[in-house]
Structure 1
Amino acid sequence: MPSLNPYLSFKNEARPAMEFYQSVLGGDLEVSTFGEYEGMVQDPNENDLVMHSQLTTPDGFVLMGADTPTGMEYRQPAGISVSISGDDEPQLERFWNGLVEGGSVTMPFDVPPWGGRFGMLRDKFGIDWMVAYSPAS
């Protein structure tokens, strides 16, 4: 069965970002660096940058990320958000509180006109998130 997973691009911040997401969401983080694979970067100073990382959480989330080496164009993410939703309000509130640490609130995690709870934030690494709580029917 195929899966759809967010893949986040960073400029020299993939490791601290992915470790931050692991601290918020839990799970296992795998990290590979450019230096582990011969010829992957032209600047040896970039050997420790993240070529690929994958966070797999106990809830079944899979979040991937990597650094963009100097030889490739980096564009800061825009026009897209990572969304977490569900019916476990305390868990979603914990995710919200963790993700917003050091970031900024775009829309408070509060009761929207359609019910439940919803909020939007930009985390300290510039990634936009939406958190939505919908009570179980």
Structure 2
Amino acid sequence: MATHLNPYLSFRDDAREAMEFYRTVLGGELTMSTFGEFHVSEDPAEADKLMHANLTTPGGMILMAADTPNGQERPSASFISVSLSGEDKVELQGYWDKLSEGGTVTVPFEPAPWGDTFGMCTDRFGVDWMVNAVASS
């Protein structure tokens, strides 16, 4: 098996909603396991929180996430952006449109000085995204 580098997102109480949203954006198969299923929390309020979620897209992209347990601190800011890039501008435009809807656009998805089409946004769950469509030769 090849080694993969996969983004793993942390949420406070909305990992399920976020991952279901990302499935509508990216497509693919979503599997989810709760704290309750694996008996990893003694707090009944955490039983339905996601211990682990995995979204695998038809193209092989993998996005993972979990809810942060109540007893742990969740960082309020991140130095990470999830980047989507490729040559299919129509596909990437579709991702951009869905990710930026209800979020904050920091750089519009438009031609960039280096020739590609590029944009940056923070989605409605607070996750930073960069989308880059490589210019056709």
| Alignment partners' CA distance in 2, 1:116 and 1:72 | 40
Per the TM alignment, residue 135 of structure 1 is displaced from its structure 2 partner at its CA by 2.7
Aligned alpha-carbon RMSD (Å)? 0.9
In the alignment, what sits opposite 2:82?
82
TM-score, structure 1 as length reference? 0.96
Per the TM alignment, residue 22 of structure 1 is displaced from its structure 2 partner at its CA by 0.2
In the alignment, what sits opposite 1:31?
32
TM-score, structure 2 as length reference? 0.96
In the alignment, what sits opposite 2:47?
47
Regions of 4+ moved over 3 Å: none
Q: Which runs of 5+ in 1 are unaligned?
A: none
In the alignment, what sits opposite 1:15?
16
| Alignment partners' CA distance in 1, 2:72 and 2:62 | 25
Structure 1 vs Structure 2: percent identity of aligned residues? 54
Matched ranges for 1:1-137 at <5 A: 1-38=2-39, 40-137=40-137
Cα contact 1:34–1:41 (8 A) shared by 2: yes
Per the TM alignment, residue 52 of structure 1 is displaced from its structure 2 partner at its CA by 0.1
1:52-106 alpha-carbon deviations (Å, 9 max, x no partner): 0000001110000000011212113411100000000000000000111110101
